[in-house]
A and B are shown apart, each in its own frame.
Chain A
Amino acid sequence: MKIENSIAQMKKGVLEMCILAIISEEQVYPSDIIQKLRMADLIVVEGTLYPILTRLKNNGLLEYHWKESNAGPPRKYFTITETGKEALKTLSSSWIQFVQSVNQSLQIKSNHE
């Protein structure tokens, strides 16, 4: 379906920003990120997250370090870098603008109806 695709595209667009925001609060382990994203209905399966984390890390927005875990193999814990913080700032300010202008255009339409 086309509509489902559009919704998926919207979610995809904000996903990186949300991940950066979650990591900026505290250092986290991927499955913690997933839980938060799931609650926000932004992600369904875990496999989606790993490529994004790798990409953000390779672009220097995130860092990770290994921590031993008693539940299994050592885990990667992610923290945000200075570049990441800058990127998040830019992203979130343009998001706020974006939401405002989108809401405005939606408002105009509904007034005409």
Chain B
Amino acid sequence: MNKIQHINVGGYPFSINEDAYYKLDQYLVRLNNHFSHSDGAKEIMEDIEGRIAELFKEYMQGGSIVNMDHVNKMIQVMGTPENLGTEEEGETSSGYSEAYYRTGKRMFRDPYDKKISGVCSGLAHYFGIEDPTWVRVAFVFFGMWGFGILLYIALIFILPEAVTAADRLAMKGKTINIQNIAEKVEEEIAEMTEHFHEWRDKWKRKKKKF
């Protein structure tokens, strides 16, 4: 048994198996990223989607559901962003796509590791200091002259909070791509479940005391 999704590709409705749907979705997102800095990116994607719809119709030949084989076959014809990169950009491709994916390290506040507002741990990520405690100690130390407190308050307002998975990757200076983000999200869900268990255990223990 396989769950089915209903989608619209290039203005045409298709029923598609769930696994094939995820593959297609990921493929389109990657293509979209690849073309996002080209002229007329929207038009290019529309043309490609139109062609994909045509290919699906051709492959299905009276069948009614798009499956994984169809998607794989289509990707072979259209090409992955990697294929496109080497064909289209030639030697510049590697540097080009890397520059695009690697947005570079950016300064954020880390809401997952904070004492007050996450400024110190954000700075620690940025400067590659493993233990944010050192940054906190430094702030307290300089804070005695008043300058640190002002700087801290300013930073609360200047630095954005690293909310999304992409922000959190940029905060740690890691490359941003779909796989990375997916990993990050999984990691965070696991962390959340852990916190939840901890919290539940604590609560249970408290309850027992009464």
Contacts and interface: CB of A to CB of B under 8 A. Distances in A.
B87 A45 contact: yes
A54 B43 contact: yes
A73 B54 contact: yes
Contact of A30 (B43, B51, B87, B91): B51
A55 interface: yes
Nearest to B91: A5
A14 interface: no
A48 B88 contact: yes
Contacts of A6: 91
A27 B79 CA distance: 25
Given A8-B91, A73-B11, A76-B47, A46 B77 contact: yes
A54 B88 contact: no
Given A9-B91, A73-B53, A76-B47, A45 B77 contact: yes
A24 to B, nearest CB: 21
Contact of B48 (A11, A47, A71): A47
A47 B40 contact: no
Contacts of A9: 90-91
Interface in B88-113: 88-91
A95 B147 CA distance: 67
Interface in B30-62: 31, 35, 38-40, 43-44, 47-48, 50-51, 53-54, 57-58
A75 to B, nearest CB: 8
A93 interface: no
B86 interface: yes
A12 B90 contact: yes
B84 interface: yes
A58 B40 contact: yes
A43 B39 CA distance: 20
A72 B53 CA distance: 7
Interface in A45-74: 45-48, 50-55, 58, 69, 71-73
Contact of B84 (A45, A53, A54): A45
Given A45-B77, A46-B78, A48-B84, 13 more contacts: A9-B90, A11-B87, A12-B89, A47-B78, A48-B87, A50-B44, A51-B38, A51-B39, A54-B39, A58-B39, A72-B12, A72-B57, A73-B53
Interface of B: 10-12, 31, 35, 38-40, 43-44, 47-48, 50-51, 53-54, 57-58, 76-80, 83-84, 86-91
Interface of A: 2, 4-6, 8-9, 11-12, 30-31, 43-48, 50-55, 58, 69, 71-73, 75-76
10 contacts: A8-B86, A8-B90, A11-B87, A31-B51, A45-B87, A47-B84, A48-B84, A55-B40, A71-B57, A73-B53
